[in-house]
Amino acid sequence: MYFSKDNAVTAEMIAERALFHLKYSRGKTLQVATDFDKFWSFAHVVRDLVIDGFTATQEEYLQKDVKRVYYLSMEFLIGKLLERNVLALDILKPSIEALKKLDIDLSTVIQMDIEAGLGNGGLGRLAACFLDSMASMELPAYGYGLRYEHGIFRQEFEDGWQQERPDNWLELGYPWEMVRPEYTMPVFVYGRVENISDTRRGKQPVWTDWQMFKAVPYDIPMIGFQTNTVNMLRLWSARADEGFRLDVFNQGDYVRAVEEKNWAENVTKVLYPSDNTHAGQELRLIQEYFLVSCSVRDIVRRHEKKHSDLRDFAEKNAVQMNDTHPALAVAELMRIFCDEYEMPWDNAWEITTKTCAYTNHTLLPEALETWPVELINRVLPRHLQIIYEINHRFLQRVEMAHPGNSELIQKVSLIEENGHRSVRMANLAVVGSHAVNGVAGLHSKLLRERVMPEMSELYPNKFINVTNGITHRRWLLKCNPELSALITDKIGSGWIHNLKELTKLEPLATDKAFQKEFMAIKRRNKEALGKMIENDLHIPIHPDSLFDVQVKRLHMYKRQLLSTMYLITLYQRIKANPKMDILPRTFVFAAKAAPGYHLAKRLIKLINSVAVVVNHDPDVAGRLKVVFLPDYNVSLAEKIIPAADLSEQISTAGKEASGTGNMKLSLNGALTIGTWDGANIEIAQHVGEENIFIFGHREEELHALAQNSYNPWTYYDNDQELQHVLEAIRVNSFDPSQPALFMDLFDDLTRHGDPFFYMADYRLYLDAQEKVEALFRQPEAWAEKSILNVARMGWFSSDRTINEYAEKIWGIKPISIPDTE
């Protein structure tokens, strides 16, 4: 329960409990306690406050036997939790007071909090926003994921190059988790299938000779915002089983046996850091199965607490697969129903498909998961049989409806055959689900029309859209406290529960006094970020310059190189004409590149090289600054986003499934310069096309260009500035001691055919930037549009998104948890 009302939590009580934890959990006196000890103790006070709600919530779900949703995801990019939890419990004031008695302030304690970076980017952060919304909307929901020992790597720059360092987030302990060894699950891999005679059922496939290991759950409470609901995120950690490789122990090879035991514990060692490329490692497949296997068992276990059989399983459980990474859930449910519960295939299939749903998050072909049949056969032999059986029955039905159409069969088959055979995980997920959704309007359309046209014709009603959203509790209330206070002051606090209420700000957009207050807050946020940059990177920043922000994973399709080309163009213009009148701009980049993504890593080096030159050139006279902030993560995003003037969302049209950073930035008053892609389109529709800078070729146009043998050189030949920029990249004019360092980038845009249409959009982008510049020179006009962006972004709350999932896909309803005494 939350404690704002009568029986309020007092500062005395918090202080007393924190001192108790300091003494009995940390073994410290106040005199010798470190900041971390104080953080730990305070975090435990907060945690203690939610235990009653946590148990009451589970109890209520059980007693009322409500339908629950299980969100299966290989990634949860949570960030820090302490401040969020304090706000959710509405104990900010007494906490500030209480911590004084521990000789520390809340902001220091919050800084000590531990960053849970268990995700790569958009997909993982979306999962975290969804947990927030599901708890805040009182939905019976669970997150299931993996407790990686090392989350996304820490990024450092050495001589401008990205270096990856391990993230040791668990090193000092993690106060938000509770280990639950009593719910440990066994997991089986490898082995073979034997057909063994069963007296009742005849010959039955039996999976034998497997290796067993264990999954230990760690639960993190997800506290609803000022409600009694406390849901949980259950993260599994791999352990060796005592019986693991008992055969080798028995052979007396003790050391090898212990080594192999180690192998089992490697399963949850590290998050795979590539985003949008499928590498196909055996260990990754085992990770995916590990998540699926123990989560599904746990779901079945919970179901059986109230039900003697599994007949109404689909009426009580919904499983949402976050991309195809957990798509083996389809085969695992079938295996459990058929092999372990002896259910007839057709019944099992009906329950499985009614239970499962699949969200697609990317159209990039290199990201679509396929696993070699040979590999699945070795790791999960029984699952491969089941996948074959699913495919066989599915293709039979396709053949009945479209006799003799072998091309169709080959396209929709779960098995791809080109030289060697692989399982197409997206096809498995589509066939095994009752709903398949894309994450923004255009994306869902392209998913239907371009990626899976045959599937969407076979299942016209399965494919739907649910546009992404973000939790405004983190991405406005928490990260931008001053703006939040101003909003509340003007329109009341209703927006915190219903973000659509922000529209009440609209009439204030032209109010000069309000504009002043609003822009003063933006200015202070910029000063704060500027100070941080000066302290950490020793680059002086002018808070009146336009803060031009591009923060997201580094990828060629996201086109950080396009804004770099613009930046180089501006620099070259200044060099040609040092006295020119140019709007002062601070380019802020932050991005991690997948460790094996060579072009992306080179681009980081390029941006850092340009930064060194531009930031020190006296001709520039401080009018351009380039900052590449290292180690982009959730907490850094929370500092950058409130300080942004301009939000760069310039992906190649048709490539960014949705984007969610675009929403966070606009909600905090940044104007967007963006392509007609992903959720940019819906943002334009909501804020009004006059309040956003849309530019560039649209997806249909690019599609047509590609079909008519697109030639990047045409653009090159017709644009002198473009030639000049490309030349600078080709020869590396930023560091003549290392010529040709960036030849690969140059080649990609020219000789290699410019797959992401940089050349086609370059001039259009520059034109749009010119409009940005002109508007920024009119502070009142800019302020008006900025306010209108904030006022009209309410629809992008993940509460709205989750509502759509709950209604259209899951069929679950909110249930309020009674107060506990």
Binding flag, residue 367, ligand 26W (CB under 6 A): yes
Give the residue with the Cβ less far from ligand 26W, 626 or 806: 806
Cβ burial, residue 93 (10 Å; 0-12/13-18/19+) = middle
Interface size with ligand 26W, residues (CB under 6 A): 23
Q: Which of 275, 332, 631, 761 binds ligand 26W (CB under 6 A)?
A: 275
Quote the least distance from Cβ 453 to ligand 26W, whole Å. 21
Quote the least distance from Cβ 72 to ligand 26W, whole Å. 14
Quote the least distance from Cβ 569 to ligand 26W, whole Å. 27
590, 636 in Cβ contact below 8 A?
Answer: yes
3-state secondary structure of 158: strand
- Cα(725)–Cα(569) distance, integer angstroms: 6
Binding flag, residue 121, ligand 26W (CB under 6 A): yes
| 68-72 vs 141-146, strand pairing mode | parallel
Q: Give the residue among 142, 135, 143, 141 at the shortest CA–CA distance from 228.
A: 135
Binding flag, residue 362, ligand 26W (CB under 6 A): yes
Quote the least distance from Cβ 14 to ligand 26W, whole Å. 37
Give the residue with the Cβ less far from ligand 26W, 126 or 395: 126
Stretch that binds ligand 26W, among 360-368, 374-382, 716-724, 799-807 (CB under 6 A): 360-368
- Cα(329)–Cα(335) distance, integer angstroms: 10
Q: What's the DSSP call for residue 720? A: H
What are phi and psi for residue 590, nearest 5 degrees? -150, 130
Give the residue with the Cβ less far from ligand 26W, 223 or 327: 327
Per the document, the length of the chain is: 821
Residues 6+ apart with CB under 8 A from 422: 370, 371, 372, 373, 415, 416
Quote the least distance from Cβ 273 to ligand 26W, whole Å. 9
What are phi and psi for residue 561, nearest 5 degrees? -70, -25
Binding flag, residue 361, ligand 26W (CB under 6 A): yes
Residues 6+ apart with CB under 8 A from 665: 549, 641, 644, 647, 672
Stretch that binds ligand 26W, among 65-73, 270-278, 453-461, 682-690 (CB under 6 A): 270-278
Binding flag, residue 467, ligand 26W (CB under 6 A): no
273, 154 in Cβ contact below 8 A?
Answer: no
755, 556 in Cβ contact below 8 A?
Answer: yes
Among residue numbers 656 through 675, which ones bind ligand 26W (CB under 6 A)?
Answer: 656-660
x/- letters, 671..700, toward ligand 26W (CB under 6 A) = -------x----------------------
Quote the least distance from Cβ 326 to ligand 26W, whole Å. 11
- Cα(80)–Cα(127) distance, integer angstroms: 15
Binding flag, residue 323, ligand 26W (CB under 6 A): yes
Give the residue with the Cβ less far from ligand 26W, 160 or 659: 659
Binding flag, residue 439, ligand 26W (CB under 6 A): yes
Binding flag, residue 122, ligand 26W (CB under 6 A): yes
What positions carry a catalytic annotation?
A: 361, 552-553, 558, 660, 664
Binding flag, residue 502, ligand 26W (CB under 6 A): no
Give the residue with the Cβ less far from ligand 26W, 276 or 586: 276
Binding flag, residue 123, ligand 26W (CB under 6 A): yes
Give the residue with the Cβ less far from ligand 26W, 564 or 658: 658
Quote the least distance from Cβ 131 to ligand 26W, whole Å. 14
Stretch that binds ligand 26W, among 59-67, 84-92, 459-467, 650-658 (CB under 6 A): 650-658
Stretch that binds ligand 26W, among 215-223, 359-367, 482-490, 568-576 (CB under 6 A): 359-367
Burial annotation 690-708 (CB, 10 A radius, 16+ → b, else e)? ebbbbbbbbbeebeeeeee
Quote the least distance from Cβ 277 to ligand 26W, whole Å. 6
Quote the least distance from Cβ 558 to ligand 26W, whole Å. 8
**From the CB of residue 813, how many other CB atoms can be counted at a distance below 10 Å?**
12
- Cα(368)–Cα(377) distance, integer angstroms: 20
- Cα(637)–Cα(644) distance, integer angstroms: 11
149, 160 in Cβ contact below 8 A?
Answer: no
Binding flag, residue 369, ligand 26W (CB under 6 A): yes
Give the residue with the Cβ less far from ligand 26W, 191 or 654: 654
Q: Which of 17, 234, 245, 278 binds ligand 26W (CB under 6 A)?
A: 278
x/- letters, 568..587, toward ligand 26W (CB under 6 A) = --------------------
Binding flag, residue 551, ligand 26W (CB under 6 A): no
DSSP readout, 270-302? B----SS-----HHHHHHHHHHHHHHHHHHHHH
Burial annotation 482-507 (CB, 10 A radius, 16+ → b, else e)? bbbebbeebbeeebbeebebbbbbee
Quote the least distance from Cβ 599 to ligand 26W, whole Å. 17
Binding flag, residue 468, ligand 26W (CB under 6 A): yes
Q: At what angle do helices 328-335 and 381-401 cross, to 10 degrees?
A: 100
Stretch that binds ligand 26W, among 153-161, 273-281, 527-535, 753-761 (CB under 6 A): 273-281
**What are the residues binding ligand 26W (CB under 6 A)?**
120-123, 126, 274-278, 323, 361-362, 367, 369, 439, 468, 656-660, 678
